[in-house]
Amino acid sequence: MQYLKTVFTFILLVKHTLGLSPVIFIPGDGGSQLEAKLNKSTVVHYICSKTSADYFNIWLNLELLVPYVIDCWVDNLRLEYDNVTRTTKNPPGVELRVPGWGNPEPVEWLDPSHDKTGAYFNSIADSLVKIGYQRNVSLRGAPYDFRKAPNENAEFFVKLKQLVEETYAMNNKSSVTLLVHSMGGSMALHFLRLQKQSWKDQYIRRLISLSTPWAGAVKALKVFAIGDDLGSYMLSQSTLRTEQITCPSLAWLLPSPNFWKPSEILVQTDRFNYTINDLQKLFNDMELPNAWEMRKDTQQYSQDFSAPGVEVHCLYGHNISTVEKLVYKSGTWLDGTPTLATGDGDGTVNLRSLTACERWRKPPTKWWKPFKKTYPVKSLALPNAEHLKILHDPRVIEYITTVMGN
């Protein structure tokens, strides 16, 4: 009798699993573990290690984000830009890799020790496991070097296509759901545009997006200006800025001219008011010429805002103060700390960028387009769902499990 009950339970489980769309998590900026190996001839501080016997976790490693030690971390994680090759590289003596391709663990937990500070996709993954998903089979992860933009992540897009096809095959040829957060949504959008529609129709079931800055964010300007403390009062935003401003992904996340008007002031000073059309002057005045070069390298990936050609679920937070403009005091020009004028958003991304996905709902403008296949776009605005905390929001988890369980 017990044997028959076990067999019956197994049959029900298999039947349920056959109906599930496997999930691939694509993380946002800062959403992948990173490992480094050192063989340096010089260091910025006597307490910094020049060498390491093997790779070690550099992101997220809270032990490295303490006074003095953080200077070593910044010097190891920063990038060096070459305006001839239009690419970046790690500092001399630093090798960096992204661990755990295909495995969801490195994007569920940014800290390998599973410290709650580094919790990322784990709450969503746990909820999916409860309805029948299995890690490394129907739950996969696609980590990448989030410091870089699409122009330097070509290998990622090739590997992601292979991962989608592999996951599809492993799960009884069930089409895949891409579950993305923040910049991961922008990466997924670019990936989908690289694929033929016939491939997407076969392999992609849907795209579920959380807090994606589809059109960039003014906060990227704020980071270039004064840095970001990652939400911790223990960290110095000016110290972190040294590393942050070397990342092409930050330039990619600057506001899009498709969504910000030339009449809107982004940085206000007593000498000049900078708009979306004045970014080259702004970065030159800030003495950040590489920022403008990286902007030129990445702007092509923001110019096209055509629909991805798959079903989209677009979830985002709002009703949280989000920087819209930097205002410098009279007499300071671009020195010192500006006042941050705020508007609606999720605390990181402006509302106009979060809701940009809703443009894909617009009816076709040409007579022949109604005969073309369309893909639904569903959006859900969640009051007070902060940019990062949305990953653990019960409303989001309920929405995802409901969609994925059907």
Instruction: Catalogue the active-site residues.
Output: 182, 346, 387
The total of other beta-carbon atoms located within 10 Å of residue 73's CB is 21
Alpha carbons 313 and 33: distance in angstroms, whole number: 26
AA identity, residue 154: A
Supply angle C-alpha 12, 16, 19, rounded to 5.
150
Cα-to-chain-centroid distance, residue 360? 21
Residue 377: beta bridge partners?
312
Helix (H, G, I), strand (E, B) or coil at 392: helix
DSSP string over 140-158: EE----TTS-GGG-HHHHH
Alpha carbons 99 and 119: distance in angstroms, whole number: 17
* Strand (E) or helix (H) holding 72: helix 69-77
Helix (H, G, I), strand (E, B) or coil at 54: coil
Alpha carbons 15 and 70: distance in angstroms, whole number: 51
* Strand (E) or helix (H) holding 76: helix 69-77
The answer for residues whose C-beta is within 8 angstroms of residue 305's C-beta and 6 or more apart is 214, 215, 256, 258, 356, 359
Cα-to-chain-centroid distance, residue 208? 13
Alpha carbons 356 and 374: distance in angstroms, whole number: 18
Residue 80: beta bridge partners?
89
